[in-house]
Amino acid sequence: MTTEITINDRLVELGVLGNQEDRTVQRKGAEQVENFFKNYEENVYEPGEEATAFLLHYLTDIQVRDFGMGILDKYDNVLPALNYLLDKAPTDTAFINAPACLLATYLYESEDSASAAITLSNAQEDYSLAMLLRRVMAAGWPSTSFASMREELHPKVVAGIFGEEDNG
3-state secondary structure of 129: helix
3-state secondary structure of 6: coil
Report yes or no on 88 lying in a domain.
yes
User: What's the pLDDT score for residue 6?
Assistant: 79
Report yes or no on 58 lying in a domain.
yes
Report yes or no on 2 lying in a domain.
no
The structure's pTM equals 0.89
Q: Are 151 and 69 in contact (CB under 8 A)?
A: no
Report yes or no on 120 lying in a domain.
yes
Q: Exposed, middle or buried, 104 (CB in 10 Å: 0-12/13-18/19+)?
A: buried
Report yes or no on 1 lying in a domain.
no
Report yes or no on 41 lying in a domain.
yes
Range of the domain at 30: 7-162
**Tens digits of pLDDT across the chain (168 residues):** 556 777 888 888 877 886 667 889 999 999 999 999 998 866 756 788 888 999 999 999 999 999 999 999 998 889 999 999 999 999 888 999 999 999 999 999 999 999 999 999 999 999 999 999 999 999 998 989 999 999 999 999 999 999 854 433
Using CA atoms, how far apart are residues 102 and 82, in angstroms rounded to an integer?
7
Report yes or no on 167 lying in a domain.
no
Report yes or no on 154 lying in a domain.
yes
Q: Are 138 and 119 in contact (CB under 8 A)?
A: no
The structural domain count of the chain equals: 1
Q: Are 103 and 82 in contact (CB under 8 A)?
A: yes
